[in-house]
Each structure stands twice: as C-alpha cells, then as structure tokens.
Structure 1
Amino acid sequence: MIDIRKSLRGKYQEEEINVMPLVDMVFLLLIFFMVTTSFVKEAGIDVHRPTAATAQLKDKGNILLGVSADGRIFFEKKAIDLRSVRAHIERSLAESPEGAVVIVADQKSDTGVIVRVMDQCRLAGARRVSIAATRPGAKG
C-alpha cells in the first residue's frame, strides 16, 4: 500500500519487479533444449522403400544417402555424383565415427547403382552399411 505521507514529501520510491532472474532462466532453458535436441538429417528425396519382413529399426547416428528410381544419388538434400560419395561419407564419419550408413533407395532403383554406392561407402571407411526398408503392412 502506498504511504501518502512519504509520497507527498518526495521520499516515496516506486517498487520495481526484477525480471533478470526470469530472463536468465529462459536463456538456460533455451540452451538446454538446444543441446538435448537431436537433429534428423534426411536423404533429400521421397522414395518408395522396398518391404522386408526382417527390417529393423536403427536410430543411432545414421548417415543417410538417397538413391532415386532414376539412379540419382542424394546426400543432405543435395544431388551428388557417385564419385563424391566417398568424400561425403569420410567427412560424415569424421564428425560421427560411430555412425552407420543407411542407403534409402527407391524400390525401382537400379541394383548396380546401389552396389556402387555401398562400395564407395565401404571404401570411405564405413563399417556398417545397410539399405532402408519397411516392414510389410507399415506405412512409408
């Protein structure tokens, strides 16, 4: 409550709300969510994956390569040449040494292109190279 006598004499000071702790807390939460968020990298194309009854979910440190039905190769939403696959995979493995390479190929893509992409991945030093598939009855 305002003291009238103090305000008339000029000794009254207005109360202030200190918002700095609130700002500090918001920044701490922002940093926390930025650090704990995992970013999903996509191959860059929409494909119709083949189905496989033994398909397994792999969710840790995947490096994705896309192969379209017409044989084009995509890495991080960019079309790349077969000759540059090895360099891209080497760079990605340097950033994430435990990463597994997953080739997301269209079911109508040429097997020869997929084999050459797998070969380039292995030459780049990838120990785990697999092809993405969906389980029968699953959407995707």
Structure 2
Amino acid sequence: MIMNLQSFRMKTKPEFMIIPMIDIIFFLLVFFMMNSLQTVAQKALSVQLPQATSASAPAQLPVVFTLDAEGHITIDNNPMSIDQAEAMIKQRIQENPNASVILQADKRAAHGQVVAIMDMLKQSGVKRLAIAAEQKG
C-alpha cells in the first residue's frame, strides 16, 4: 500500500501577514511613548521661585558609611581610615547640616568598633543616622 504524501502537503504558499505585525509595532510604539512621558520632567512653564530665608536646600543622597567584618571602613565605596572618615563626615555636615548617614556594619564586626563609629558620627554633627539591616525572609 503506497500512500500519497502529495495530498498532505500544503497546496498554498505561506503568506506574510503584515496587519498583525503593524498592530504589534503600534502597540510597542504607544507603550514606549506613554512610558517616556512618565520619565521626562515636565517643564512647560518658566517660573521664578520666590526667595525665603527659611527655605531648605534640596535633599541630597545619604552618605553610606560601611564597616566590614575585618574593621575596614569605606564611605560611598571609597576606602579610608577612621581619621579620614571623620574629616570627610565633618566636611559633609558643614556643607549640609541635615545630611543623613547610613551605617552599614557587618554583623561580624566588633560591637565596640560599631559603637565607636556611632560616637564619632555623633561628635561630627550627624543628626540623622540610619543603621542598615536586611529584612528577614
């Protein structure tokens, strides 16, 4: 018994469907246009803000103070000694008295060293100190 394989083959040529492709491209275009409107700052009006003596400076990024398990110190990923760190913190506090500091201390770091760093930060004039921790999962 011989099967006729010719009858199972497609008789028509496959066609390239352009309409669904246009729909997908249009959808992507609209998506990216709407997304870009969310990220662009709207500066349609030019205004001159009034001045006030009690106006505060814009918020700055916090200073990230890191202490690893061996006792090495970094500020914003720049390694330094405790004296250099104190000088840098004092300089940042002079520039912005409301600057915040995030202390990232390794859980294996010596407790006395963490307390000494917190004391140094307080003496340097830091008013806003946060201690970083991971959330238990």
TM-score of Structure 1 vs Structure 2, range by shorter chain: 0.5 to 0.7
Between the aligned partners of 1:60 and 1:134, the Cα distance in structure 2 is 23
Identity within the alignment, %: 25
Match of 2:63? 63
TM-score (norm 1): 0.51
Deviations 1:44-74 (A, max 9, x none): xxxxxxxxxxxxxxx9641110001111111
Between the aligned partners of 1:101 and 1:133, the Cα distance in structure 2 is 14
1:49-60 → structure 2 map (5 Å cutoff) = none
1:41-52 → structure 2 map (5 Å cutoff) = none
Q: CA RMSD in A?
A: 2.4
1:127-138 → structure 2 map (5 Å cutoff) = 127-137=127-137
TM-score (norm 2): 0.52
Aligned residue for 1:71, secondary structure, equals coil
1:1-140 → structure 2 map (5 Å cutoff) = 61-137=61-137
Larger Cα-atom Rg: 2
Unaligned segments of structure 2, at least 5 residues: 1-39, 44-58
The Cα of 1:103 is off from its aligned counterpart by 0.7
The Cα of 1:131 is off from its aligned counterpart by 1.3
CA contact (8 A) 1:62 1:102 kept: yes
Count of aligned residue pairs for this structure pair: 82
CA contact (8 A) 1:85 1:117 kept: no
Deviations 1:18-50 (A, max 9, x none): xxxxxxxxxxx8xx9xxxxxxxxxxxxxxxxxx
Deviations 1:79-108 (A, max 9, x none): 211122221111112233221111111111
Query: What stretches of structure 1 move > 6 A for 4+ residues in a row?
Result: none
Between the aligned partners of 2:78 and 2:99, the Cα distance in structure 1 is 20
Unaligned segments of structure 1, at least 5 residues: 1-28, 33-58
Aligned residue for 1:65, secondary structure, equals strand
